[in-house]
Amino acid sequence: STAGAILQPQPPPWENSVSLISFMFPREKATRGARGAARRVNTMQKGVATVAQLSGFDEIIDARTPAEFAEDHIPGAINLPVLDNDERIVVGTMYKQQSAFDARRLGGALVAANISRHMLAVLQDKPKNWRPLIYCWRGGQRSGSFATWLRMVGWDARQLEGGYKAFRHHVIAEIARIV
């Protein structure tokens, strides 16, 4: 009978290196390399895009502050900040000096209000099949929040993996390759 086998205790995921990698990096697939060592293989995540895929989107949205956008941005991007310059300073200062929780609570409220404003203005006429790519500095919470809301609406919004920082590294590498 197989009933007894079902009740048998299973080893924890950290007992071998492949299981440990799968446990620690659930979005990545663990495989064995040529020498039998565990290695991680990136799999495409829904909602994430790479720098190489930039041209496959209808619009590129920079979710950083107007000051960050003015300093530099991906060519052709529009700036729809989830925090304005002053809001980012307040939230960042609160995070460092007071509490990460308090900063995230305030930041979440401000981000939701700003995304709502963008959706009621700039984004109100976008068709159902619109495909935006959203980025912030490192591909973190700002662009992730925006992309999540746009996906909840029904758009195929993607977040740039690594954010503007990854784009900048790509451009520098391309220049070095050409020169």
- By annotation, the residues acting in catalysis are 136
What whole-number distance in Å separates Cα of residue 48 and Cα of residue 70?
25
The dihedral built from the CA positions of residue 17, 22, 27 and 31, taken in this order, carries a sign that is: positive
For residue 49, the cross-strand partners are 160
User: DSSP letter at 126?
Assistant: -
The set of residues, in sequence order, having a beta carbon less than 8 Å from that of 89 and lying 6+ positions away, is: none
